[in-house]
Amino acid sequence: MNDPEPLLQVRNLKKYFPITRGILIRRQVGAVYAVDGISFDIYPGETLGLVGESGCGKTTAGRTILQLYRPTAGQVIFDGVDLTALRGEALRRMRRRMQLIFQDPFASLNPRMTIARIISEPLRAHHIGTPAEQVERVQELLRLVRLNPRFINRYPHEFSGGQRQRIGIARALASNPDFIVCDEPISALDVSIQAQIVNLLEDLQDQLGLTYLFIAHDLSMVRHICDRVAVMYLGKLVELAQKDELYDHPIHPYTRALLSAVPVPDPSVERQRKRIVLEGDVPSPVDPPPGCRFHTRCPEARSVCTEEEPAWRDIGGGHFVACHAV
């Protein structure tokens, strides 16, 4: 199923946020190494999951790929064009093809705008269509996300969380993008509503041939929706593989611990499961540990892990891992 030509190639992408001190004379005293050299491809029509715990840099990675944050280093090649080299109008034209769906359906819609204005904003920004055509397009988009097109003049507060997320999805689809970064699109929703939104995202992908980067921390949902899954820890990718390969044969000790910690809604399974409980907390990305970033919590750490950074390599069949023990 892997198309030979990836839609998106991420190469050694880095994003550091400077930490400054001083009011009049600001000098940089450090940096948050939020994303520190990640590389992967996304193929047309696939869903790549990006998972990891809070603070691991997955949201920053998504936004840096979209050039909402300009990267510190590295390349993002979208359909053959290096986005990191583009500026101004050339970049703006590419943005039409890449959109973002946000986590919080309450904070991501302007409460003072009508649904029509919210959804048509990408159309106005990119000068797509006349005002009349834009209204028509908004109605079409509302039908696409299964909302009543008559809602067009209502305000966000009149909608439930699930409906607002549909509005956010309609806005993301307005400019007819090829690629959508879904940044935790269901984590703020109730369990019974999550399945509705996930099914909608899957249907839209089939209908419109979309490619998704699905950022999430719910590993059960990621297994359901994604084709391949990448695991991130403290700014680095630790493992990436086809989803069943990753979930059934995880190699990296962090992936194994992460998967073993996910509860299963079945008491008989839960009783027999062996958890790998990690000690301590994730270190700060301001001062990441040398060598392998996971060595401070890794049950299998050896002396080489504290000194040398493990290489990111394909161990066969597109299963990537960065670990000295492999």
Partner 1 sequence: MSPLLEVRDLTTRFYTLDGVVCAVNGISYTLEEGETLGIVGESGCGKSVSVLSLMRLIPEPPGRIVAGEALYRGRDLLRLSEEEMQQIRGREIAMVFQDPMTSLNPVFTVGDQLTEPMRLHLGMSRKEARERAAELLEMVGIPRAAERLDDYPHQFSGGMRQRAMIAMALSCSPSILIADEPTTALDVTIQAQIVDLVKALRDRLGMAVIWITHDLGVIAGIAERVIVMYAGFIVEEGPVGEIYGNPRHPYTLALLASLPRVDRTSNQRLAVIPGLPPDLLGLPPGCPFTPRCSYARPECREKNPDLQPVHSGHRVACWVDVTTGRLR
Binding site residues, partner 1, CB under 8 A: 53-54, 160, 162, 190-196, 198-199, 202, 217, 219-221, 223-224, 243-244, 247, 257-271, 273, 275, 277-278, 281
Q: Is 223 exposed, middle or buried (0-12, 13-18, 19+ CB in 10 A)?
A: middle
For residue 300, the Cα-to-chain-centroid distance in whole angstroms is: 29
DSSP one-letter code for 287: S
Tokens of 166: 């549909």
Question: How many angstroms from the chain centroid is the CA of residue 19?
Answer: 25
CB of 226 to partner 1, least distance (A): 11
Cβ contacts of 60 within 8 Å, gap of 6 or more: 15, 34, 35, 69
Q: Give the separation between CA 246 and CA 320, rounded to whole angstroms.
A: 10
Which residue's CB is nearer to partner 1, number 140 or number 190?
A: 190
Least distance (Å) from partner 1 to the CB of residue 26?
24
CA dist 215 and 101 (Å) reads: 10
d(CA 168, CA 173): 9
Structural tokens at position 159: 């909608």
Closer CB to partner 1, 10 or 278, in the complex? 278
Q: Which is nearer to partner 1, 208 or 269 (CB)?
A: 269
Distance, CA of 36 to CA of 236 (rounded, Å) = 6
Q: Quote the least distance from Cβ 220 to partner 1, whole Å.
A: 4
Give min distance, CB of 92 to partner 1, in A. 36
User: Which of 93/224 has CB closer to partner 1?
Assistant: 224
Shortest reach from residue 9's CB to partner 1, in Å: 27
Closest alpha carbon to 105 in 54, 40, 51, 170: 170
Nearer Cβ to partner 1 (27/150)? 150
Full DSSP string of 186-237: TTTS-HHHHHHHHHHHHHHHHHHT-EEEEEES-HHHHHHH-SEEEEEETTEE
Length of the chain: 326
Residue type, 10: V
- Taking the least distance from each CB to partner 1, the nearer of 77 and 261 is 261
Smallest distance, Å, CB 61 to partner 1?
Answer: 17
Classify the phi-psi angles of 67: left when phi > 0, otherwise alpha if psi is within -120 to 50, otherwise beta: left
Please, which residue, 26 or 275, has the CB nearer to partner 1?
275
The nearer residue to partner 1, 80 or 265, going by C-beta atoms, is 265
Output the smallest distance, CB 1 to partner 1, in A.
13
Smaller CB separation from partner 1, 280 or 316: 280
Q: How far is CA 73 from CA 12, 192, 277, in A?
A: 7, 41, 35
Q: How far is the CB of 146 from partner 1 (least distance, A)?
A: 11
Closest contact distance (angstroms) between CB of 232 and partner 1 is: 12
Instruction: Give the three-class secondary structure for 102.
Output: coil
